[in-house]
Structure 1
Amino acid sequence: MTTSPTTAPSVTTTSREVATRRRRLSHPVAFAAIAAIFVAFTAASSAPSPLYVVYQQLWGFSATTLTLVFAVYVVGLVGSLLILGALSDHVGRRPVLAAAIVLEAVALVLFLSAGDVNVLLVARFLQGIATGAALTTLGATLVDLNPPHAPGRAGLLNSIVPPAGLAFGSLGTGALVQYAPGPTHLVWAILLTIMVIAGVVVLLLPETSTRRPGVMSSLLPKLGVPARLRKDLFALVPIIVASWALGGLYLSLGPSVAVGVFGLGSHLIGGLVVTLLCGTGALAAYALRSRATSRVLTIAGALLTIGTAVTLIGMETESTLVAAIGTVVAGVGFGASSLASFGTLAVLAAPDERGELFAVALTIAYVAFSIPAVIAGLAATTFGLHSTALVYGLVVVALGGIAMIAQRARKA
């Protein structure tokens, strides 16, 4: 009896599928790999901060142009969050991650070869799109792969990774610019190598989200939150806005304030300014992981307010030590906010809601992170860096106070 020719492809396909599944990473390894890729993306997003001063010196562009470079990244990122935020819920996590990595690699090649501000603008815009697509998908994938014996681990990593990555990126770039050759090239070559490795890893990841219809409708810009989650999300908005507005201040104006107000000319110090806030935030999120969410939110609002106020006192008295202490205190509040807000959302969202919900939360975060910083960059040209940083800091203090009031009202 001969085998029917129609059955052979079926057997071959099944064998290939089995072989492919065998090559996939186990869930624990995949979980660690996604966390590492998450760090790489956030580190790459903060890498330009210590380099902006270098680019200004090389190409002689104004503070307004520098603000434009920051703004195009924000446009790309927020647009990506709005349009692509829910895409992985429909087509799967792996395709979206793979596309984000490819686009990030293109942006890094442009950074590596940039010879003028126009190329820098294009690179930063593409990086914004890639980062927006990656962050929502990576956050959702972590929750998908969360180990059953540690139900809060994905939420913890979603809280720790963004500030940790921002800290690594800014400090690492600052160190390379200060001490290594090729200050405008080496960091991009390193990040490009990391992205190539990340691309290989994504090919080996298991798919954690089943395909479902509605791909085209998911691309329509919207901020959709399931009705049952709206109350919880709205209660978190004040603290998300306060913490990320503070982050925007440090990443956009922090290195410039270090040079212009405190007279600290080292590029390493410029990176350290961001690291003091974001690195402290990552450590604080880990340290507070076992505390009740309501308690962590109270801590976040209080320390954001106090820390920013102390930093402003240091700036007014030109005391680097006081400003550094204030930054560390505010950093604890920054980390506590990230832990409580994103940790809460990770637990509340159902699998088919995660991509879209994280997109909404990240959109709120990055709008707060970016729009005030863009306005501040424009204001610095007219009113001066010192006055702009002072007013910006006072607004953050007010936002921290509003966040504390919002939490008290929620408890009442």
Structure 2
Amino acid sequence: MPLSHTPTVQVSAAATAARAPRHWLRAGWLMTASGWSANQYSSLLGAYRAHLGLTAATTTALFAIYVVGLIPGLLVGGPLADRHGRRRVALTALGISALATCLLMAGPAAPALLWPGRFLTGVGAGTLLTAGSVWIKELSTPPYGTAPSPGAAARRSGLFLSAGFATGGLAASLIAQWAPHPMVLAYVPHLVLVAAAALSAGRAPETAPPRTPDPTVPAHHTPALPTHRTPALPTHRTQFRRLVVPVAPWVFAAPAIAFAVLPGLVDTRLHGWQTVYAGIITAVTPGAGLLVAPLARRLSARHRLATAATGLLVAAVGLLVGALAVAHAQPAVALLAAALLGVGYGLCVAYGLTEVAALAPPHHLARLTARFWAVCYLGFCTPYVVTVLGGAFAPSTILIGLAVVALLTLAALLRPGVRSSV
């Protein structure tokens, strides 16, 4: 009898391990759709100026209004995901994202629709980021998945997001460069991705923990608690402010500068190829963030602050290289700067998601994740700040100033009071 029972148990365990990863993969496409929706517009800034006659200030303001919609989406999405479940909120947000893309497609015929289109893009992306990233993290850990740690599980949503950032902008720019009706057809791939993501995520299980303890629910239905650094609520709020908030704005400040600032300042020699060049930058930047994922894991294992410190340092170097590229109008040097800024983005987002997963109790995970993304997306206002300051300072000077701010953030993170609390 033991001889026949043991292989059955082994096969069953192997089958469970094989099935578990598919759950987070199914939900992961939601994050890719979110990143795609955010970045498909970024590579079309020059095309909007050329085809619709929009000014640089208008296109930059449209870039920033995304954040105006995103912040409330993030802040509301967290409590909604805790109350109504990850899947329902994520799929609703996906529908809002699709509606926003349809409004952007109508923009060439009615430019006023670009404003609500960008605003709703932010609302959908913000809500999706909160519910989706928490859902993926929970689907990656027992009883649903086999991720080795909460930090590793949390970083998966950042990888899917980066994939959307990298491919969305490049695809939109290539379509806008060579296809007819570029301001319409450039958005079609996102609608296809939304449909595929909805079909995929609809088969993933709900993971939201019950709001009140229920003794009739088996223990294996409750997602596992983090095994380290799970402090009481006041402590996790304090550590969030000290360790995460200073770094979070740089998560998107770095790529936003690469997407929305550098191309327009160095592409004067690229006659007829400006849109493709912008698309390449939108692919290179998050692509570099994807490639440093193994480095982020190694740095995190070495020291809790190492990932953030390295990310801020690389972002500062990227800004300095960007200043050099702008001063001499060198597109190739700007690509190098974009890659460095992408590395900074990848390390900072991995650090932030890891810290949030470690700090938050399960019943507050969605809310704390929402706060993290809300602070991150403040960085998307950086291009507008650069445009405003451009009336008084040279662009290269502004970039050098931002590099100094990044280094000051690094110094604040590493000051003795913060390091002693780690």
Whether the TM-score (by the shorter chain) exceeds 0.5 is yes
Answer yes or no: is the 8 Å Cα contact 2:248–2:348 preserved in 1. yes
Choose which of 128, 137, 155 in structure 1 pairs with 2:131: 137
For residues 1-42 of structure 1, the C-alpha deviation after alignment (integer angstroms, 9 at most, x for no partner) is: xxxxxxxxxxxxxxxxxxxxxxxxx64222001112211211
**What's the TM-score once normalised by structure 2's chain length?**
0.81
Alpha-carbon shift at residue 149 of structure 1 (Å): 4.6
State the match for 1:232 in structure 2: 239
Q: Higher mean Cα deviation, 120-129 or 158-167?
A: 158-167
State the match for 1:400 in structure 2: 406
Alpha-carbon shift at residue 355 of structure 1 (Å): 0.8
State the match for 1:280 in structure 2: 288
Alpha-carbon shift at residue 99 of structure 1 (Å): 1.0
Answer yes or no: is the 8 Å Cα contact 1:112–1:188 preserved in 2. yes
Matched, 1:352 2:363: yes
Alpha-carbon shift at residue 160 of structure 1 (Å): 2.6
Alignment of 1:53-72 (within 5 A): 53-72=46-65
- What is the distance in 1 between the residues matched to 2:245 and 2:403? 16
The one-letter code of the counterpart of 1:259 is: D
State the match for 1:148 in structure 2: 146
State the match for 2:69 in structure 1: 76
State the match for 1:376 in structure 2: 386
- What is the distance in 1 between the residues matched to 2:128 and 2:251? 21
Residues 394 and 164 of structure 1: CA distance in aligned 2, closer, same or farther (over 3 Å): farther
State the match for 2:313 in structure 1: 302
Choose which of 229, 244, 258 in structure 1 pairs with 2:252: 244
State the match for 1:194 in structure 2: 193
The one-letter code of the counterpart of 1:40 is: A
State the match for 2:156 in structure 1: 157
State the match for 1:184 in structure 2: 183
Residues 411 and 378 of structure 1: CA distance in aligned 2, closer, same or farther (over 3 Å): closer
Residues 396 and 246 of structure 1: CA distance in aligned 2, closer, same or farther (over 3 Å): farther
Matched, 1:336 2:347: yes
- What is the distance in 2 between the residues matched to 1:262 and 1:180? 19
How many residue pairs align between the two structures? 372
- What is the distance in 2 between the residues matched to 1:112 and 1:327? 28
Residues 64 and 266 of structure 1: CA distance in aligned 2, closer, same or farther (over 3 Å): closer
State the match for 2:83 in structure 1: 90
The one-letter code of the counterpart of 2:404 is: A
State the match for 1:122 in structure 2: 116
**What's the TM-score once normalised by structure 1's chain length?**
0.83
- Partner of 1:290, secondary structure, is helix
- What is the distance in 2 between the residues matched to 1:258 and 1:141? 40
- What is the distance in 1 between the residues matched to 2:205 and 2:27? 11
Residues 109 and 65 of structure 1: CA distance in aligned 2, closer, same or farther (over 3 Å): same
Answer yes or no: is the 8 Å Cα contact 1:300–1:336 preserved in 2. yes
Residues 328 and 197 of structure 1: CA distance in aligned 2, closer, same or farther (over 3 Å): closer
State the match for 2:336 in structure 1: 325
- What is the distance in 1 between the residues matched to 2:357 and 2:95? 27
State the match for 1:14 in structure 2: none
The one-letter code of the counterpart of 1:121 is: W
Answer yes or no: is the 8 Å Cα contact 2:267–2:329 preserved in 1. no
Alpha-carbon shift at residue 336 of structure 1 (Å): 1.4
Answer yes or no: is the 8 Å Cα contact 1:159–1:339 preserved in 2. yes
Identity of aligned residues (%): 23
Alpha-carbon shift at residue 400 of structure 1 (Å): 1.8
The one-letter code of the counterpart of 1:332 is: V
- What is the distance in 1 between the residues matched to 2:249 and 2:271? 30
The one-letter code of the counterpart of 1:203 is: G
State the match for 2:216 in structure 1: none
The one-letter code of the counterpart of 1:337 is: C
Alpha-carbon shift at residue 262 of structure 1 (Å): 7.2
Residues 134 and 259 of structure 1: CA distance in aligned 2, closer, same or farther (over 3 Å): same
Mark the runs of 5 or more structure 1 residues left unpaired by the alignment.
1-25, 214-224
The one-letter code of the counterpart of 1:306 is: V
Choose which of 257, 273, 279 in structure 2 pairs with 1:271: 279
- What is the distance in 2 between the residues matched to 1:157 and 1:270? 27
- Partner of 2:246, secondary structure, is helix
Runs of 4+ deviating beyond 4 Å:
260-264
For residues 80-115 of structure 1, the C-alpha deviation after alignment (integer angstroms, 9 at most, x for no partner) is: 112233210111011101211111111122222331
- Partner of 2:137, secondary structure, is helix
State the match for 2:264 in structure 1: 256
- What is the distance in 1 between the residues matched to 2:282 and 2:331? 14
State the match for 1:172 in structure 2: 171
Answer yes or no: is the 8 Å Cα contact 2:30–2:128 preserved in 1. no
Residues 287 and 46 of structure 1: CA distance in aligned 2, closer, same or farther (over 3 Å): same
- What is the distance in 2 between the residues matched to 1:149 and 1:158? 13
Q: Higher mean Cα deviation, 225-234 or 65-74?
A: 225-234
Alpha-carbon shift at residue 154 of structure 1 (Å): 1.7
- What is the distance in 1 between the residues matched to 2:207 and 2:357? 15
Residues 175 and 262 of structure 1: CA distance in aligned 2, closer, same or farther (over 3 Å): closer
- What is the distance in 1 between the residues matched to 2:40 and 2:207? 30
Alignment of 1:31-70 (within 5 A): 31-70=24-63
Mark the runs of 5 or more structure 2 residues left unpaired by the alignment.
1-18, 213-231
- What is the distance in 1 between the residues matched to 2:247 and 2:197? 32
